[in-house]
Structures are given as structure tokens and as C-alpha cells.
Amino acid sequence: MHGRLIRPGEPGYLVAAWPNNARWADVYPSAIAMCVDDHDVRACIDWARQEHQAFAVRSGGHNYAGFSTTRGLLIDVKPMSGITLDPKNGLVRVQAGASNQDMADALRATGLAVASGRCPTVGTSGLVLGGGWGFSATRYGLTCDALRATEAVTADGTLRRASDRPGEENDLFWAARGGGGGNFAAHTSFTFALHEVGDVTTFNIVWPAKRQVELMLALQEIQLAHPREVATRSKIAPATAASSRRDQLRVQTLGQFFGPPARLRELLAPAFALAEPIVAEINGLNYWSARDYLVTDDPTGLYDMRSSFVEDRLGGDGLDTMMAWMERWPGGSLRQDNMGILFAVGGQVKAVAPEATAYVHRRSDFILEIEASWSPLDTPDVVARQRAWLAEYFAAMQPYVQPRSYVNFPSRDLPNWQHAYYGRNLPRLSAVKRQYDPDNIFRFPQSIPLDPRTAAAGSE
Ligand SMILES: Cc1cc2nc3c(=O)[nH]c(=O)nc-3n(C[C@H](O)[C@H](O)[C@H](O)COP(=O)(O)OP(=O)(O)OC[C@H]3O[C@@H](n4cnc5c(N)ncnc54)[C@H](O)[C@@H]3O)c2cc1C
């Protein structure tokens, strides 16, 4: 290895091993390979294959379900974070360890961007391999839609270039756009198409705890009526940790509008007419200032979550059910900020055919995320109650959502996960798996099966 191999007990080991979701922080790797170049990645894959050792590949370490943790070799590509701009061809080549923040830093001065995610420390690798939602998705598409080529070390230790050009591993390229990280190869770089950026309008509106269903319906109508102009992340959440009673649940929408503030105010008028907001920040900004405004903090924490997709809108019954379950929150030390969120995925995301890339959910308009989070203050009983609540809440929402789930918002407890993540693209993904990883060395609890018939039957 050219990079550092960190063994248990050596300085930095615990920090390097720590994933974003601390639920998996006690999964200690036998060693952590800090890969600095393609050679290191190949050496790791060759060693793991020859020695029959378990491994996981990690970039940003944000996988919710702990799939970039392992008791074997942790192959960490984070040191490979170089970014090379090719403005003449409208391309940028990003090494596999670069984060959303690295990309923003590299592109900020250029007037060009790649549609990417909201969290600064999420790795480009995990983001693009699973799809990649951000506040530019409805306008410019998912991060995976901007992918033009990728380099990856496959199970046989070969570094391959994949793209849609003839002779360049077209199937691997197809699978890299939504097939989920860790399934086929260890990617070392991604080349994205850039788009030009201009001024946009950001908004953060919070309403008092009333008329929640009507407000969420109105916000969805606005999104559906202007799919490419606006990108919303709308939610219902309690104001404090103390109570999630209906009179404590507030509607918030955070988003980006590709037009001037005055026009956005016109679009939002139906929601403003329902109730006077308690926060109404609407600002015309340049694209990068808007990105800085919209980024999330990314606390490492303890959490469990589920995701679904919604076609068209989540109707009044679904929203009522959602609120009824929020009211049943069993309690805990933290305010539950992410009890029910709708991320807009219409517009340009829907312009791509479901089978054109591995990301299959091209008929959906929203991703629904529901989450439970806790802290070390909460006893195991409290945590067990929260997790049981999450499972029941998720089950209760099924009549109102599609039987699908976003592979970048995964859960180990998701029933029928293969079909939920991949739908009708599952057989082709299994064929790609057989082609590039016939011995199934890229393996984790929800890795793509070699034989799709081993996956439980499901819809779509
Ligand atoms: C705070 C937070 C905010 C988020 N915000 C968004 C958002 O705005 N939009 C969105 O779409 N998603 C978001 N996500 C989800 C995020 O996109 C996924 O968790 C993503 O897969 C994380 O990528 P990563 O590289 O950081 O994670 P990792 O855990 O390192 O990797 C994720 C998966 O990809 C594999 N992998 C990593 N690197 C490679 C590689 N080089 N080659 C092959 N496989 C690899 C891993 O083995 C793992 O299975 C968020 C997650 C968190 C925790």
C-alpha cells in the first residue's frame, strides 16, 4: 500500500472506523486501508479475494444501515479526493473520496455545478451510486444522471473504465447509476457533466402548528404544478422534544426556486393563505450562496429510518395517518426533526425512463422519509419502543405509498428490500453482478443477489 494501513490500537483507528450512524460504531474493522490511489484499491481487492476476507468500501461513511462497516478490511477511499475540471468539455472528474463539500469548493468559482446532495460530508461515491437527491434534482436531474464515466476496480482486481461508449463496460456504467454502492466494484473516480448556474431563490417557511394536512397538500400541489422550477423538502415535525401532540406539529418547507423571489411568493400564495407563517425566509441568491444556505449540518448520531416513494401526492388520508403516528411517538431525549419528510423527485428526475439507468423510481413525485433518533441518554427500553414505533408507523403508511424505497435511505428491516430498491431493474442488476462479481465478494446484508429468483417476490 502507498497509503496508511491502520490497525486496531494504532493512533486514529477509532476515528477512522467511526461511521456517521453511530448505531454501527461498535463494528470494528480488522484494519483500515487508507487508499491514496488506484494501486491501493487494487491491492486491497486482490488481497481480500485471495485471502477470502470480508471487506467493505467506504467513502463518506454515511450509509444509514451501516453497510460501509465491516469486521474485515475497511477499504477507505477518502484520501482520494482530487477534482479535475475540464470546462472545455463541460466535465469534471472527481476521485471517489471527494465529498459534496469538496465538490462545492472546487466548482464554486466556476459558474458550473453538478447536481449533488445536501450534506457536506456525504461522499460523492455513495451519493451517485444510489441516485443522488438535492435541491437541483427536479431541475437538472439526480447526481447519477450527470454521470458520464466512472473508473472502478472489479472483483478480479482489474481497473475498468465504464461509460456508455461502445466497448467501455456499458452494463457496469448502467448499474453505477442507482444500483447502490458496494455491489459490483470499488469505484475510484467519477466523471460528471457540468451545468451552468445562475441566480436562484431559497426559501425556508415554517407555519404554526395548525392546518398541517391542508398545508402539506398545498405544498405538494405547488411542487406538482411547477416541477422543474421548484424543489421542496417539506415536512411535519414537533417544535420541541417534549411533545408531538397535533398542536405541537409544525409544517416546514425548505427549498430552491429557479426564478425571482417575487414569482416564488406568487407560487406560495395558496399556502400563505392557509396560515400566517412564523418563519418566512425568502432570498434571491447566487447558486453557491444558495447551496451554503441549504446545506444541512451532519451530526453523527443514533438513528433508524425508512423510506418510501409517492406517486402524484400523499393525500389527506395518508397525511392524517402520518400525524396520528407522530402523536403516538413513544418519547425520548431528542426532538424528532425527521418524523415525516417529502423530498420532491419529479421534473427532470421523471424525464428519464425507469430502465435507462439502474435508478428505477422514475414515475414517483416524492420520496417519503421517516426516522427515529435517540441519544445515549435513552435507555435500551426507550430505544426499543422507538424502533417498534418506527416499524409500525412505516407499516401503517403502506396503503398510501408505493412499495418502493430509496437505496440511499436504506433500512436493514425493510421487508422485500430487493424489489423495493430496484423494482423491475433487479434482474438486470443481478446479471451485472454475475458478470463482474461472479463469486459475490462484494457482499453485505442487502447486496444485489447473483440470482434475482432468490429475492422474495414483489410488485413492479
Ligand atoms: C446527514 C445525511 C444527509 C444526507 N443527505 C442526502 C441528500 O441530501 N441526498 C441524498 O440523495 N442522500 C442523502 N443522504 C444519504 C446518502 O446519499 C447516502 O447515505 C450515501 O450512500 C452516502 O454515501 P457515502 O459515500 O457518504 O457513504 P458510505 O457509507 O461510505 O457509502 C455508501 C455505500 O456505498 C458504498 N461505497 C462507498 N464508496 C464506494 C466506492 N468508492 N465504490 C463502491 N462502493 C462504495 C459503501 O460500501 C456503502 O454501501 C444523506 C445521509 C446523511 C447521513
Q: What is the pLDDT of residues 394-447, one digit of tens each?
A: 999 999 999 999 999 999 999 899 999 999 999 999 999 999 999 999 999 999
Ligand 1: centre distance to CA 241 (Å): 28
pLDDT at site 460 = 33
Q: Please report the atom of ligand 1 found closest to the CA of residue 406.
A: 11
pLDDT at site 455 = 60
pLDDT at site 88 = 92
pLDDT more than 70, % of the chain:
98
pLDDT at site 321 = 98
Ligand 1: centre distance to CA 67 (Å): 10
Ligand 1: centre distance to CA 280 (Å): 31
Ligand 1: centre distance to CA 204 (Å): 25
- pLDDT surpasses 90 at 456: no
The answer to whether the CB of 78 is under 6 A from ligand 1 is no
Ligand 1: centre distance to CA 211 (Å): 35
The answer to whether the CB of 62 is under 6 A from ligand 1 is yes
Mutate to test the pocket of ligand 1, among 37, 58, 232, 443 (most ligand atoms within 8 A of CB): 58
Atom 52 in ligand 1: residue holding the nearest Cα: 62
- pLDDT surpasses 90 at 114: yes
Ligand 1: centre distance to CA 408 (Å): 6
Q: Please report the atom of ligand 1 found closest to the CA of residue 20.
A: 53
User: What's the whole-number mean pLDDT along residues 131-140?
Assistant: 97
pLDDT at site 454 = 72
What domains appear along the chain, each with residue ranges and CATH number?
A: 5-76 (3.30.43.10), 83-196 (3.30.465.10), 199-400 (3.40.462.20)
- pLDDT surpasses 90 at 453: no
User: What's the whole-number mean pLDDT along residues 273-284?
Assistant: 98
The answer to whether the CB of 373 is under 6 A from ligand 1 is no
pLDDT at site 299 = 67
Ligand 1: centre distance to CA 316 (Å): 32
The answer to whether the CB of 222 is under 6 A from ligand 1 is no
pLDDT at site 448 = 97
pLDDT at site 458 = 39
User: pLDDT grade, residue 243 (50/70/90)?
Assistant: confident
Mutate to test the pocket of ligand 1, among 32, 40, 44, 68 (most ligand atoms within 8 A of CB): 68
Ligand 1: centre distance to CA 172 (Å): 19
* Assessment of whether the complete model's pTM goes beyond 0.85: yes
Ligand 1: centre distance to CA 60 (Å): 6
The 8 Å CB, 24+ separation contacts for 68-71 are 68/19, 68/126, 68/181, 68/182, 69/17, 69/19, 69/24, 69/27, 69/29, 70/27, 70/29, 71/27, 71/28, 71/29, 71/30
Q: Please report the atom of ligand 1 found closest to the CA of residue 60.
A: 26
pLDDT in tens, 2-56: 999 999 999 999 999 999 899 999 999 999 999 999 999 999 999 999 999 999 9
The answer to whether the CB of 179 is under 6 A from ligand 1 is no
